[in-house]
Amino acid sequence: MEKMIERYIYAVTKRLPEAMKEEVKEELNGNIYDMLPENPTDEDIDKVLHELGHPRELARNYRGHDRYVVSPLFYDEYIQVLKIVAIIFMAISLVFGTFDAIINVEAPTFIGGFAEVFAKVISNALGSFVNAFAWTTFIFWMIELAIRNKKLPEWKVKDLPELPNPKTTKISRVETLIGLVLGTAFSAVFIIFLIRYIDLIGIYENNVMVAQIFNPAVTDQFIIYFIISAVIGFVVSLMKLQFGEWRISLAILYTAQELMSTILFLIFIRMDNLILNEAFVKVGSYVDQTSAQISAHFDKGVTGLTVFIIIVVVIDLISTWVKTLRQKKA
């Protein structure tokens, strides 16, 4: 039973920093024997050890402070961020997982293929949930390490969050999330196509490409701008989630981002050599027209699309500013 004392002490000291282990061990050992009568029975030892309490708790008392992965001060934010990150990660993985699984089905039968896709999608989604959890927790852990044993920095009254104004226009969280996921998925697919598959988009006859449509010399220049635009769009969506309502600063950012990405896209589709002449020739050969005629039709189409996009964007921006400014007068 003497062993019990050593095991108890070990259970305490193994939870302590190296520097204090040895001393606490010796002191605790002395204290325990002081509390015991001469020639103690097993019950005596049991009683004294229980008086000292759970080894975990005693170790905490010796350490003198609690330790956390996520600071209790930030716990609410942690849960909030975790929810959003998990939803985004899982939604993006659902979109891509399904896409990827369907393209790469290996099972020969329909049922087998269905089961395969289903299993892949689920395991992908679970994997990205674990990812979201790990990254969020890791980042909050770093925050905890950074602020450990430090007082929170001075705070200013003007930095306090604004009271939610009952007259402001709320930004629907679900809508923003759906927009965020679809927007990201679309941008990603678009950019991946520009980078990897632009050479494969073309007119095929009997599984052989007879005319490539897009001019890689033109599209390649745009890749970096589309990536920048996608990242900015993603950040602005996150800010919409964070703000939760339309404010002037947010509306300005949103307008800038919307204008920038629209102008970028319009310049892209209006580039002179975006479509290769061989494609116009090929299409012309199908409908008995010259490539110049086809090109002229195409230009009209682009003009129409440009007008359409501008109208949609203008309507969207006007409605955003109406929502934003209406509350200010109220």
Partner 1 sequence: MDPNVLSNLSVELKRGTQVLAVLSQLKTNQYGYSLLQALEEKGVFIEPGTLYPLMRRLEAQGMLKSEWDTSESRPRKYYCLSDEGVKIYEMLIEEWQRIVSDMDRLIKEENHGKND
Q: Taking the complex as a whole, how short is the minimal distance between the CB of residue 49 and partner 1, in angstroms?
A: 10
Q: Taking the complex as a whole, how short is the minimal distance between the CB of residue 25 and partner 1, in angstroms?
A: 12
Q: Are 243 and 320 in contact (CB under 8 A)?
A: no
Work out whether 5 is an interface residue with partner 1 (CB under 8 A): no
Q: Return the number of the residue (61 or 221) whose C-beta is nearest partner 1.
A: 61
Among 2, 51, 162, 272, binds partner 1 (CB under 8 A): 51
Q: Taking the complex as a whole, how short is the minimal distance between the CB of residue 41 and partner 1, in angstroms?
A: 19
Work out whether 78 is an interface residue with partner 1 (CB under 8 A): no
- Give, in degrees to the nearest 5, the angle at Cα 181 between 177 and 182: 115
3-state secondary structure of 128: helix
Among 6, 14, 22, 31, binds partner 1 (CB under 8 A): 31
Q: Taking the complex as a whole, how short is the minimal distance between the CB of residue 40 and partner 1, in angstroms?
A: 14
Q: Are 82 and 136 in contact (CB under 8 A)?
A: yes
Q: Return the number of the residue (65 or 156) whose C-beta is nearest partner 1.
A: 65
DSSP state, 171?
Answer: P
Burial class for 104, CB neighbours closer than 10 Å (0-12, 13-18, 19+)? exposed
- Alpha-carbon distance 254 to 179, whole Å? 13
Among 2, 3, 18, 34, binds partner 1 (CB under 8 A): 34
Among 6, 22, 26, 175, binds partner 1 (CB under 8 A): 26
Q: Which one, of 292, 310, 299, lies nearest residue 272 by Cα? A: 299
Amino acid at 251: A
**Helical packing angle, 42-52 and 18-35, nearest 10°:** 130
* Stretch 257-296: interaction string toward partner 1, x if CB under 8 A: ----------------------------------------
User: Which residues are near partner 1 by CB under 8 A?
Assistant: 20, 24, 26-28, 30-31, 33-35, 51-53, 57-58, 61-62, 64
